Amino acid sequence: MTRTDLIKKLLPGFIPLFVFILADEIWGTQVGIAVAVGVGVIELIITGIKERRLEKFVLIDTALLVVLSLISILLDNDIFFKLKPALIELILCAVLGVSAFGKLNIVQMMAGRYMKDVSFNEQQKVQMQRNLRNMFWIFLAHTGLIVFSAFYMSKEAWVFISGGLFYLIFAAYFAFEWFRNKRMHGKMPIIADDEEWLPVVDETGKVIGKAPRSACHNGQKILHPVVHLHVFNPKGHIYLQKRPENKLVQPGKWDTAVGGHISFGESVETALKREAYEEIGLTDFQARPMASYKWETEVEAELVYSYLSYDYKKIRLHSDEVTEGKFWSRAQIEKNLGKDVFTPNFEFEFKMMNQLRDQNSALA
């Protein structure tokens, strides 16, 4: 299912509105209403004959157009008339907003209901969610422009903003997305049969899909969860591992004692225990959560679950991913901050640890 296919399926619902704006400019409001309603009725008939269903989105759009236009004529209120496209777009904004940021994806439900011959894979669902967020902000900004033009600009400017500008904005957006996807496709590695799949999550940690590890690290910014573990000794020194020189991200820098991905279907706690053993040989340890946050780089976006532990005695390196490890005092770390000795992610969490320590000291 491509973005073009999705647009072809959903775009007919917007046609009566755009026809009205064009017809109104040429023949006037009353003729514009008649033409737009006629187009809507024709769409309903064609859909009913071809697909044996009532296209509710076209019906609602046409009905709103009729009601709001008649009110404008009866009240002879030019401002109300000019605000019609904004009112309709606000309804669309509400649908997009709930779908993009809420738990109920209305657009996806519509797609599943009206496009029964179409299926979405996990990456397409993630891409769809991203597009919904972008479309929400575009619609919201365009609605604001319509309201501004209705009050402070000429009718000609309002006509352009309500109609022509809408097409130009979306043409620019989809052109940008086309070039972006083309560039990403060139970077897209071939997915091996045995490649690890990672959960795709929203910013609350809710799993919304899955994606191959390679797709999560090629710049698409697919949000996926990882675990970090900071290990302390009785002196308060922090154990750090040195990343191998052949690592794609931050090679040769000192980093968190344990850091790794959560596999699809794996819990945070299970992933933490597995990564701790794989990287520093740590078993039977106690850990408490420090924080969870979103971390974004040029190649990926991660939802980080960070933990603290004081069980340090069983540490032993037995992984090719870790070339060296040792305890650092806080003074040693602070002396080397900002000098490309540590990964930016560790420096961020080190500052977070200092803030928590200061807060605890203030409460003591």
Choose between 252 and 129: higher pLDDT: 252
User: Could you give the count of Cα atoms lying within 13 Å of 329 in the half-sphere of its Cβ?
Assistant: 4
Confidence grade of residue 76 (pLDDT, cut at 50, 70, 90): low
| Secondary structure class of 352 (helix, strand, coil) | helix
The average pLDDT across 297-311 equals: 92
Per DSSP bridges, beta strands 207-212 and 254-256 are unpaired
127 bridge partner residues:
none
Task: Tell me what percent of the residues of the chain surpass a pLDDT of 70.
Answer: 73
* 284: exposed, middle or buried (Cβ count in 10 Å: 0-12, 13-18, 19+): exposed
Nearest to 314 by CA among 229, 226, 228, 227: 229
What value, to the nearest 5°, has the Cα angle with vertex 59 and ends 53 and 60? 130
Q: What is the model's pTM?
A: 0.54
Q: How far is CA 44 from CA 15, 51, 88, 115, in A?
A: 12, 10, 19, 17
- Structure confidence at residue 53 (pLDDT): 67
Confidence grade of residue 191 (pLDDT, cut at 50, 70, 90): very low
Q: Which residue has the tokens 């190649």?
A: 299
pLDDT digits (tens, 9 = 90+) for 14-58: 666 667 767 776 777 677 777 877 887 887 788 778 767 676 666
Please state which of the ranges 12-21, 195-204, 231-240, 305-314 shows the lowest mean pLDDT.
12-21
Spell out the residues 6+ positions from residue 101 whose beta carbon is closer than 8 angstroms to its own: 133, 136
Average pLDDT, the chain: 79
The average pLDDT across 97-120 equals: 62
Nearest to 282 by CA among 308, 255, 306, 317: 317
The average pLDDT across 316-340 equals: 86
- Structure confidence at residue 80 (pLDDT): 64
Distance CA(216)–CA(223), nearest Å, equals 7
Please check the confidence at residue 154 and state whether its pLDDT lies above 80: yes
Please state which of the ranges 247-261, 272-286, 349-363 shows the lowest mean pLDDT.
349-363
- Structure confidence at residue 157 (pLDDT): 87
Confidence grade of residue 254 (pLDDT, cut at 50, 70, 90): very high
- Structure confidence at residue 199 (pLDDT): 93
Ordered structural domains, the chain, with CATH: 3-186 (no CATH), 197-363 (3.90.79.10)
